[in-house]
Amino acid sequence: MPYDELLKWTSFFRKRPVGWQEDQRTYLLLRAAGVKSSAENIFHSLKVIKQEQENKQVPDQAVPKGKFLEMMLKAKNGDNSGWTIK
């Protein structure tokens, strides 16, 4: 396995820990049994997943985005700023 692929798998398993689905099912059973605590307080894997989802919701402030930028880039000669839309 190439080194860069290994790094990508490591990153993937940091974001989606092994066994998180079992932890989710167990939490649902605990919740049905009357446990009032949140899933993140009981299972570390679910805390990691929730943090990853929250990080995705934070808008990226480093790269400009929006309709106005799209219009500028589609202009006849663009705006020559070097920005690209991802």
Q: What is the separation of C-alpha 10 from the centre of its chain, rounded to a whole number of angstroms? A: 15
pLDDT (0 to 100) of residue 52: 86
Q: How many other CB atoms are there within 10 angstroms of residue 2's CB atom?
A: 7
Low-confidence ranges of the chain (pLDDT < 70): 58-65, 76-86
Unique residue bearing structure tokens 């839309």: 85
> What is the model's pLDDT at position 61?
61
Q: What confidence score (pLDDT) does residue 71 get?
A: 74
Provide the H-helix boundaries in 1-86.
Answer: 3-15, 20-32, 39-42, 44-57, 67-74
Instruction: Tell me what pLDDT residue 82 has.
Output: 63
pLDDT at residue 24 in the model:
93
Query: Model pTM greater than 0.85?
Result: no
Look at residues 43, 49, 42 and name the one whose alpha carbon lies nearest to residue 15. 49
pLDDT for residue 86: 57
